[in-house]
Amino acid sequence: MRQFQARIIANRPVAEAWRELVLEWEAEPPEPGQFLTLRVSPRLDPLLRRPFAFSGFSPADPAGGAPATASAVYQVRGSATALLAEIAPGNFLDAIGPLGKPFPLPAAGETALLAGGGIGLGPVLFLARRLRALAAAGQGSPEPRLLLGFRNAASLPELDLPEGSLLCTDDGSAGFRGTPTAKLAADAALAELGHRARLYACGPAAMLAGLAALAKERGWRASLSAEQWMACGVGACMGCALPRADGQGYLRACADGPVFEGGEIDWAAEAARAAPPVKAGAAPRPAQGPAGAGPGKERT
């Protein structure tokens, strides 16, 4: 990891309230699943750095003189990301990265199932491109399967999605009607794969809870990327803790994660915590988190 002033190459809208940030990247190349933290303003309010999962990386091109770039897709949902959205290309941001543990790559012959929920698509897209490049080079696994979940057709981002991506929408206005989890659960061929499949996912806690349960049932190994509020981002403050599934305390999203094995975290507890507000007089609704940008969460 390094701290440096990162020049903004692009900071463009890709969907309503979603943007893609591209930075000139001077630290070591990030791996899919890792993240960076940014100070979005030199002022003291908002105070803390914000974490953003990498959605891609392009190495420098010495022939053409192009610098290495790293990208992140983020959602504008609080004061810090609103400030970030206003910063034009050419300006610099105080960046620290790459941070956290990346997705472990699939073992030879393992089928990779990738699922992204909402703004959680960033690290999943990064991994999909990496796995496709490996597959094209004849290394490692078969072609990965990529499923991306959105609210509706209007919320689909203007991003270069890998060929063969399966789109899912809650209302069926584009692609499969339902969630990536439901689509994966309905696929009988995938159920046959058992331990020959490995699931990778990033999205709201409720989605990860559902996927962790499905992976366990199917015998798939699962690597799930969490989101949690962070203060330091480097493992020092213990602020970004997530509850362990075995009840033996907590793990740090920033340094022990953000990518965890399916059975490591009590995702159901996290999903319940992230549940939307309960209306006065109404019975609590089942947990269903907002679209998340793992890791880290913007305050509203």
Binding residues vs other proteins (CB under 8 A): 1-3, 39, 44-49, 94, 96, 228-243, 248-250, 255, 273, 276-278, 280, 299
What is the closest distance, in whole angstroms, from the C-beta atom of residue 80 to other proteins in the complex?
Answer: 8
> Prior bond to 295 cis, omega within 30?
yes
What is the closest distance, in whole angstroms, from the C-beta atom of residue 235 to other proteins in the complex?
Answer: 5
Closer to other proteins by CB, 90 or 249: give it.
249
What is the closest distance, in whole angstroms, from the C-beta atom of residue 8 to other proteins in the complex?
Answer: 19
Closer to other proteins by CB, 138 or 249: give it.
249
Closer to other proteins by CB, 29 or 178: give it.
29
What is the closest distance, in whole angstroms, from the C-beta atom of residue 255 to other proteins in the complex?
Answer: 8
Closer to other proteins by CB, 64 or 277: give it.
277
What is the closest distance, in whole angstroms, from the C-beta atom of residue 76 to other proteins in the complex?
Answer: 16
Contact by Cβ (8 Å): 124, 201: yes
Task: Give burial (CB, 10 Å; 0-12/13-18/19+) of 59.
Answer: exposed
Determine the length of the chain.
Answer: 300
What is the closest distance, in whole angstroms, from the C-beta atom of residue 175 to other proteins in the complex?
Answer: 31
Type of residue found at 207: M
Closer to other proteins by CB, 1 or 15: give it.
1
| Distance from C-alpha of 156 to C-alpha of 281, rounded to nearest angstrom | 35
Token pair of 119, please?
């703004």
Closer to other proteins by CB, 202 or 232: give it.
232
Radius of gyration in angstroms for the set of CA atoms belonging to the chain, rounded to a whole number: 18
Closer to other proteins by CB, 24 or 298: give it.
298
Type of residue found at 296: G
What is the closest distance, in whole angstroms, from the C-beta atom of residue 227 to other proteins in the complex?
Answer: 12
Residues in Cβ contact with 293 at an 8 Å cutoff, skipping those fewer than 6 apart = 52, 53, 73, 74, 75, 118, 119, 120, 122, 227
| Distance from C-alpha of 209 to C-alpha of 207, rounded to nearest angstrom | 5
Type of residue found at 261: E
Query: In the structure, how many helices (H) and strands (E) does the chain have?
Result: 6, 16
